[in-house]
């Protein structure tokens, strides 16, 4: 049940506040329909991942959400406010870290934080932000001298200058080295602990799987799946992914006769399939190879991941079995 006046959703006896609600969002660039009715919502305190391949509509969705682009149709409601009617009020509620926040070469992190905090009525002390984002040592260094990780931390700090209710991170780990990425993930987890609602746009599926409470997968301007990573994996894909290669090509027709084998793909000596009965299927496979006189060269059995779901949903050809000619 949705309570429109306060944006609360009743879930099993207690009410969860809806912080972001996107409904029927449409955007067209000439003949290209970038968004074809995007719907999703974020509950208070959750980390929500927006996943999608390049050109799927992620950036356009975020731009419409942030007021950087005017949608052709649909509504965006943030903290109960219509983002199209009250853009300034909405901007006071959200903190944003863009994918590439570049500032002037000569500005220092301290100055940047002072400057951006001056744009808001409610402000977080600059020193506290510098400490929180580990920028004290670089507080008075020119932006041009900061490393990629430091720049990203500054971008995150800028999102927090006014104590936002919703934090929107657009592909925050792009271009970061593993260490900086690790620090970023720790910071995003901290946001959740601190009670912030986070919308994270990313194409890094391991990142989404590790950080997000719920994800939405967008493809060709539509949301094709929404749920927790676990729900998506369990509903959209089988339990295990099996990859193996043998000493000589295996007859696909023989493979297809193995019970419980799904989404079979053969590529020369390599074979890929999904199954819910990994142990049984692998035993049958061994028997088939032995009968055929082939030797198993490589075998990889793993549980299905969000990446498998993503590939399945965004590359429809992966659903079909492709057999060699």
Partner 1 sequence: MNGLLEHLSQSLRLHFRNRMGLLYGYLFPLIFLVAFWVLYRHEKIPLIRHMGELLTVSVLGGACFGLPTTLVSERERGVWRRYRLTPLPTWAFVVSTAVSRYVIILSAAALQLGLAFSLGMPLPAHPLALWCALTMVSFAFIGLGLVLAMLADNVPAVQALGQCIFLPMLIIGGVAVQLASLPSWAQHVSAFFPGRYAVEALQACVSGGGLASIDFCLLALGLIGVSGCSAGAKLFRWDAAQRFAASTGKLWLVPVLGAWFAVGLIAELRDKIAVSIDGVTVAAPVAAIPAPVPLPPWAKITAKDVAALDFRVPSDGGVVSPFAGPEEEASDYTKDEVEAVRQGLLTWRPGLEGDDVQRVRNLVCVAAVPDSIQQPVERYLPPVVLSYLQEIYPKDKLIKILTWIVLHPEDGSVIDSIADLGVQGTAGDPAIVRERSYLYALKFIMRLTGRIDG
Restricted to residues 127-186, the positions that interact with partner 1 (CB under 8 A) are 158
Name which position in 9, 16, 81, 115 contacts partner 1 (CB under 8 A): 115
Which among 97, 87, 233 has a CA at the least distance from the CA of 174? 97
C-alpha separations of 267 from 14, 15, 113, 251 in Å: 52, 51, 54, 11
The answer to whether residue 31 forms part of the interface with partner 1 (CB under 8 A) is no
Contact 200, 49 (CB under 8 A): yes
The answer to whether residue 118 forms part of the interface with partner 1 (CB under 8 A) is yes
Look at the block and give the residue holding tokens 């919502």: 41
**Exposed (0-12), middle (13-18) or buried (19+): which is 28, by Cβ within 10 Å?**
middle
Q: What residues have CB less than 8 Å from 230, skipping those under 6 apart? A: none
The answer to whether residue 41 forms part of the interface with partner 1 (CB under 8 A) is no
Contact 153, 135 (CB under 8 A): yes
Which of 115, 301 has the CB closer to partner 1?
A: 115
Name which position in 8, 35, 51, 103 contacts partner 1 (CB under 8 A): 103
Which of 154, 211 has the CB closer to partner 1?
A: 154
Pairing of strands 261-267, 270-275: antiparallel
Which among 135, 191, 134 has a CA at the least distance from the CA of 168? 191
The answer to whether residue 288 forms part of the interface with partner 1 (CB under 8 A) is no
The answer to whether residue 92 forms part of the interface with partner 1 (CB under 8 A) is yes
The answer to whether residue 120 forms part of the interface with partner 1 (CB under 8 A) is yes
Which of 66, 266 has the CB closer to partner 1?
A: 66
Name which position in 1, 88, 179, 293 contacts partner 1 (CB under 8 A): 88
The answer to whether residue 89 forms part of the interface with partner 1 (CB under 8 A) is yes
Interior angle at CA 122, CA 116 and CA 123, nearest 5: 50
Q: Cβ of residue 121: shortest distance to partner 1, in angstroms?
A: 9
Q: Which stretch binds partner 1 (CB under 8 A): 45-53, 90-98, 243-251, 294-302?
A: 90-98
Pairing of strands 73-78, 81-82: antiparallel
Q: Which stretch binds partner 1 (CB under 8 A): 104-112, 211-219, 290-298, 316-324?
A: 104-112
Q: For binding to partner 1 (CB under 8 A), which residues are involved?
A: 66-68, 88-89, 91-92, 94, 96, 98, 100-104, 106-107, 111, 114-116, 118-120, 158
């Amino acid at each position: 049940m949705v309570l429109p006046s306060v944006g609360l959703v009743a879930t099993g006896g207690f009410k969860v506040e809806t912080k972001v609600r996107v409904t029927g969002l449409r955007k067209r660039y000439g003949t290209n329909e970038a968004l074809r009715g995007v719907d999703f919502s974020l509950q208070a305190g959750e980390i929500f991942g927006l996943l999608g391949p390049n050109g799927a509509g992620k950036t356009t969705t975020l731009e419409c959400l942030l007021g950087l682009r005017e949608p052709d149709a649909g509504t965006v409601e943030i903290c109960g406010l219509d983002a199209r009617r009250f853009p300034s009020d909405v901007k006071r509620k959200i903190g944003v870290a863009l994918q590439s926040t570049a500032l002037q070469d000569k500005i220092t992190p301290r100055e940047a934080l002072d400057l951006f905090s001056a744009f808001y009525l409610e402000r977080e002390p600059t020193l506290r932000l510098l400490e929180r984002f580990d920028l004290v040592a670089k507080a008075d260094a020119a932006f041009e001298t900061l490393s990629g990780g430091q720049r990203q931390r500054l971008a995150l700090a800028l999102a927090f200058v006014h104590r936002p209710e919703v934090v929107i991170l657009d592909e925050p780990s792009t271009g970061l080295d593993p260490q900086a990425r690790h620090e970023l993930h720790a910071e995003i987890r901290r946001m959740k602990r601190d009670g912030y609602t986070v919308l994270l746009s990313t194409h890094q599926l391991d990142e989404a799987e590790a950080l997000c409470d719920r994800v939405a997968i967008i493809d060709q301007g539509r949301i094709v799946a929404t749920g927790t990573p676990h729900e998506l994996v369990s509903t959209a894909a089988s339990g295990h992914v099996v990859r193996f290669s043998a000493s000589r090509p295996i007859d696909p027709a023989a493979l297809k006769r193995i019970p419980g084998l799904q989404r079979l793909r053969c590529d020369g000596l390599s074979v890929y399939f999904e199954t819910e009965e990994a142990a049984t299927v692998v035993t049958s496979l061994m028997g088939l190879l032995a009968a055929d006189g082939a030797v198993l060269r490589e075998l990889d059995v793993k549980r299905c991941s969000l990446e498998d779901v993503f590939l399945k949903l965004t590359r429809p050809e992966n659903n079909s079995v492709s057999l060699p000619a």
